[in-house]
Amino acid sequence: MNCQDSSKASAVRPAGLKKICLGWFAATVLFSLSCQNASSTKSTSSQQIPAIVASDWLIPQTGRGPKSSNKDAWNPSEPHKIQIAHNNVDTNEFIRKIDRVERACSTLEIEYRFDCVGQGFIWASENFRQNSHYDAARDVLRESGNRLIRLVRENRDAGRPVAGVRKGHGWARRRTFSAVQKSNLSVVVARADRIIQEGATQLLRSGESSKRRRVHYSRMAKVFGSKKRIFRS
């Protein structure tokens, strides 16, 4: 090889090396971009999938139902708060509230219990956690309470003073209850029993639309129907 050929070879090597470096750099950039796209797609999918699956049972609050002071009630400024369709938390709250009514009213003489239970049911309906899936249960409480109060008005014993419950029953504090006439007691008990039974039946019917709903409304109906015992001495 002469000097001229050697000079040409040395000129070719830098040019070839430059091409190799540029190719390596381009491959690195493409690989980096593909990783970013894959990560972005995975992140988007992980956000979308729970929303799609959850939509079958997590329903945004609608604000339906009577006003409530419950701190868990939905607020439009807090969209992250959701209501769960037919769940143990709300079903148990329904049961706890009417159990509280029973405990308070059972401390009174039987003639006063009808007014106490009526007011207690209305209190429970107004302070029940706002969840549209339990509107039917709330309606039963309100309607049954109003019917019991009308029954008391029709049979009120004007000769007896109003009474109140003893301390320890928060919802009944500062409330007064009227007595029904002893002479009409058997009639009043029979009508009150019918009001409770019809309320329990309405709860059962309200749960017929789905298996999940039936489980919870059947529980509430059973406990609600058992409250007829309050009207026994």
DSSP 141-169: HHHHHHHHHHHHHHTB-TTS--B-PPTT-
Cα-based distances in Å from 36 to 19, 26, 39, 49: 26, 16, 5, 20
Confidence of residue 133 (pLDDT cuts 50, 70, 90): confident
Is the separation of the CB atoms in 220 and 94 below 8 Å?
yes
* Domain's final residue, options 56, 72, 101: 56
Is residue 67 one of the residues assigned to a domain? no
Is residue 73 one of the residues assigned to a domain? no
**Exposed, middle or buried by CB within 10 Å (0-12, 13-18, 19+), for 207?**
buried
Half-sphere exposure of 42 (CA within 13 A, CB side): 6
Is the separation of the CB atoms in 146 and 86 below 8 Å?
no
- Whether residue 76 has pLDDT greater than 80: no
Confidence of residue 130 (pLDDT cuts 50, 70, 90): confident
Is the separation of the CB atoms in 104 and 116 below 8 Å?
yes
Is residue 125 one of the residues assigned to a domain? yes
Task: Supply the pLDDT for residue 96.
Answer: 94
- Whether residue 164 has pLDDT greater than 80: yes
Is the separation of the CB atoms in 172 and 165 below 8 Å?
yes
Rounded Cα–Cα distance for residues 204 and 222 (Å): 9
Is residue 156 one of the residues assigned to a domain? yes
The pLDDT tens digits for 176-232 are 999 999 999 999 999 999 999 999 999 999 988 888 889 999 999 999 999 999 998
pTM for the full predicted model: 0.64
Mean pLDDT across 82-102: 82
Is residue 50 one of the residues assigned to a domain? yes
Task: Supply the pLDDT for residue 98.
Answer: 95
Task: Supply the pLDDT for residue 210.
Answer: 84
Does one domain contain both 125 and 43? Answer: no
Is residue 191 one of the residues assigned to a domain? yes
As for how many domains the chain has, the answer is 2
Percent pLDDT > 70 in the chain is 63
Task: Supply the pLDDT for residue 22.
Answer: 59
Task: Supply the pLDDT for residue 197.
Answer: 97
Containing structural domain, residue 150: 85-231
Task: Supply the pLDDT for residue 12.
Answer: 46
Cα-based distances in Å from 108 to 21, 158, 174, 181: 94, 17, 15, 15
